[in-house]
Amino acid sequence: MNVLTTIAQLRQVVLDTKNQHQTIGLVPTMGYLHEGHLTLAQHAKRENDVAIMSIFVNPTQFGPNEDFESYPRDLARDTKLAASVGVDYIFAPAVEEMYPQDGGIRIRAGRQAELLCGASRPGHFDGVLQVVAKLFNLVQPDRAYFGQKDAQQVAIIQTMVRDYNFPIELRVVPVVREEDGLAKSSRNVYLNETERTQAPAIQQALQLAKCELQETQDVKKALALATKLIEDNTDGNIDYLSILSYPDLNEVTVDTEQIVLAAAVYLGKTRLIDNVIFSLKGEMAHV
């Protein structure tokens, strides 16, 4: 497996691959790989001739007081892990390679970015779209792989692909979890022992809310139960706990086909997100 660090090297690989009429699967990541990323890479490898993984901690999606500097990085470890699942190339550019000029064109994420994570992380999804659009243009993948853990990110990228006509198939892979239900995340390494023990309560709360919705279709009650479970079982602060239609992220109505139950919770300084997506077609009587 080769590690490419410049756009020129990447373009050459893409050109050679296209000339051989081979398909490309792209797995965009910020590194510090865990099983979730490796699952995306396995899908990319299985469904394409060549799997390219980008590893780039993208500064434009971090707010001024967020963890850009301290975000975990270990390219040597990531390289071994990516090779173990058959990734053909890693693209790991420096910030200056990706953004040699300041203050250029920005893409603005639309209404879907105004709520959930977008409400507490202004500009975050603009930064995500900026780097993803660049990666799509550079790699020209046939398929790109994203984890459902970042459900809002997936929904917004789907909109960009639709609105900007990227000829790319988005493949969304289910959340990979620890045995106790905690969604795998590079940020889990920040959790201390107590926070780690409390963290599975987020998924338990979402499951409880899902059951309540399926039984009673009562959005308020479902949210109240989930809030209580998190408050009773963690010292965390809930950033949001929401029930919306998916992927458009509107209020749930009788016509809603797919629902996302999404949460962001601070355990200490670590902000964890998780979600459950399910269908209730015809069952949302009282909303």
User: Contact residues for ligand PAF (CB under 6 A)?
Assistant: 28-30, 58, 61, 128, 131-132, 150, 153
Do 157 and 48 meet the contact criterion of CB atoms below 8 Å apart? no
Evaluate the CA torsion angle 32, 34, 37, 43 in order and state its sign.
positive
Q: Which of 241, 270, 36, 4 has the alpha carbon at shortest distance from 139?
A: 4
- CB nearer ligand PAF, residue 130 or residue 203: 130
- CB nearer ligand PAF, residue 186 or residue 198: 186
Active site residue 43: no
| Minimum separation from the CB atom of position 146 to ligand PAF (A) | 7
| Minimum separation from the CB atom of position 147 to ligand PAF (A) | 7
CA distance 143 to 167: 9
Alpha helices in 164-275 (DSSP H): 193-198, 201-216, 219-233
| Minimum separation from the CB atom of position 283 to ligand PAF (A) | 32
* Cis status of the peptide bond prior to 247, with omega within 30 of 0: yes
- CB nearer ligand PAF, residue 28 or residue 236: 28
Evaluate the CA torsion angle 187, 189, 191, 196 in order and state its sign.
positive
Residue type, 129: L
| Minimum separation from the CB atom of position 231 to ligand PAF (A) | 28
CA dihedral 197, 235, 124, 178 (to 10 degrees): 10
The one catalytic residue among 34, 37, 124, 286: 37
Do 181 and 205 meet the contact criterion of CB atoms below 8 Å apart? no
- CB nearer ligand PAF, residue 50 or residue 132: 132
Residue type, 257: E
| Minimum separation from the CB atom of position 196 to ligand PAF (A) | 21
- CB nearer ligand PAF, residue 131 or residue 173: 131
Query: Which residues are catalytically annotated?
Result: 37
